[in-house]
Amino acid sequence: MLKLIKNFNKKELGLIVIIFILILGQVWLDLKMPDYMSAITRLVQTEGSKMGEILKNGGYMLLCAFGSLLSAIIVGYLVSHLSSTFSMKLRSKLFKKVESLSIHEIKQFSTNSLITRTTNDITQIEMLIGMGLQMLIKAPVTAIWAVTKILNKSWQWSMVTAISVLILLSVISILMVIVMPKFKIVQKLIDQINGVMRENLTGIRVVRAFNAENYQEEKFENVNNKLTNQQLFNQKAFAILSPIMYLVMNSLTLVIYFIGAYLIKDALMADKIGLFGDMVVFSSYSMQVIMSFLMLAMIFMMLPRAGVSASRINEVLDTEISVKDGEKDVTSEEKGTVEFKNVSFKYPDAEEYLLKNISFKVNQGETIAFIGSTGSGKSTLINLVPRFYDVTDGEVLVDGVNVKEYKLETLYNKLGYVPQKAVIFDGSVNFNVNYGDNGKEKSEEEIKKAIEVAQAKDFVLKMEEQYETHLASGGTNVSGGQKQRLAIARAIARDPEIYIFDDSFSALDYKTDAILRKELKKYTQNATSLIVAQRIGTIMNADKIVVLDNGECVGMGTHKELLKNCEVYKQIALSQLSEEELQNGGK
């Protein structure tokens, strides 16, 4: 929690100071009322008292009550504003931090957990500030101030009040020890519920196709019941607190009056009225002390969960970013070149290398392709260019400069990336193709041209609103092939120096694939292309083909050269095409 407090700016800290002053004023007014009540009690029981004096003290009590009410309203407004703006800032900071994390770091937390931390965990902090800040200031101030007012009244009453406070503190401490660890479990169970929900929604077609609704319901019920049972345990534990608080509070009032009766009975006639007034005042102040601890108890109900949430948020914010931004914008005489120099790579938590000693260079306007069996490291290799991961050994150069020296924004502006799984965002066709910013203005004609080159024009024009047709998040209202073509159009519209296609033609039929690659070659003749593919037909016309096997380069050359010199490539080729088709260029 203390780390999160550092996120308050000067304006917000100033607001907290104002809230503190207003609460001090509110407490002073609340504690002033018993004094006027004591004065009224004495006046009523004293012969010859004037009605004007009684009304005067009563008026002061009303003014104190009104002032306390006004202060409470202003404090409530300011605290609500403070908690809302702080949570907005914190959520924004957390979102930006998540955006800067590498894929490896995101996997460490899991998507489900990051969603929970950005939503539910921040809500817990907001609730603590919104409800707890007032009580956190008011409770100790009220308790200390009230105690100073009753210390000299009677040692018997003071001792009874002290015993009551000790009982309450003991109960709160025991509950904290029992419940605090359980809140960590609650947040993890919320992560699991998010995971099951996401799994069910993203895989809804498969769930229905396999009649797995009951299986998914059981899976959800299992996690949901665990969360419910854990929450019931926590709430039942805290439910003990309320009756104990009221029992102690009412018992204290009874004991104060019981002791007061004996003190008044044994006192001199002249002191009886004074003792009676002291008893009324003491009972009022003792209630203020107990109410202060009641407020503290409410804070302790919120604090454990908010503390867990704060540590989970700090865990993300304190994560060291492995892929760090370069220090400057880099310019180079070279353009459109990509070079790997003795590159080896292994995941941070792995023992064995996934890629071993890979070296090649591709120049502007050339196409280099990567092929190999599943798990050979093709996608990982090209993901080193945009720095989704950093190399373990060796160097990756773009335009003759190590990618680690680039500012990430500068590096990404050089790239047009099409992922293995096409990503469609919630918005129109135009929005999806015109997505992002690479420092180049894209006209409507360029966007339409990109869609045409990507062979998406025909199906886009058939849509009801054509280029303004709304696409659902994830592209659930278009086919797999249509999603891929729109993702390719998005990369083309950027007009980058280097294209990266990570198995981006797999959902296309052979005819569309061939036409698209032909048009793409014409349109991007001055750009460099890196292609990962499983189909021989997709890459056989590439200027250079790299064959990977278990993370090692076992062949490099043109299609014809590899057919002669690389047994792995030949086996892959023959598994897809006949020898005659291979010799005729796949026709």
Render 151-179 in DSSP notation, one character per residue. Answer: TTT-HHHHHHHHHHHHHHHHHHHHHHHHH
Q: Which range scores top for mean pLDDT: 52-61, 226-235, 461-470, 515-524?
A: 226-235
Q: Which amino acid is at 572?
A: I
Contacts with 515 (C-beta within 8 Å, 6 or more apart), sequence order? 455
Residue 123 has pLDDT above 80, yes or no: yes
pLDDT, position 267: 62
pLDDT, position 272: 62
Task: For domain 2-317, give the fold.
Answer: ABC transporter transmembrane region fold (1.20.1560)
Average pLDDT over residues 203-221: 78
pLDDT, position 587: 47
**What residue spans in the chain does CATH classification 3.40.50.300 cover?**
347-414+498-510+526-587, 421-496
CATH class of 421-496: alpha beta
Written as six digits, the tokens of 467 are 């280029």
Written as six digits, the tokens of 490 are 């998005």
Nearest-CA neighbor of 21 among 74, 90, 62? 74
CATH ID of 347-414+498-510+526-587, from 2.60.40.3080, 3.40.50.620, 3.30.70.330, 3.40.50.300:
3.40.50.300
Q: Which residues of 334-373 are buried (b: 16+ CB within 10 A; e: fewer)?
A: ebbbbbbbebebbeeeeeebbbbebebebebebbbbbbbe
Written as six digits, the tokens of 223 are 């996690």
Written as six digits, the tokens of 323 are 């892929």
pLDDT, position 41: 67
Average pLDDT over residues 4-18: 72
* Higher-scoring residue by pLDDT: 139, 355: 355
Give burial (CB, 10 Å; 0-12/13-18/19+) of 235: exposed
What pLDDT digit, counting tens, does each position of 524-535 carry?
778 888 888 877
Residue 585 has pLDDT above 80, yes or no: no
Cα separations in angstroms, 514 against 114, 472, 506, 538:
41, 28, 12, 7
pLDDT, position 104: 75
**What does pLDDT average to over the chain?**
77
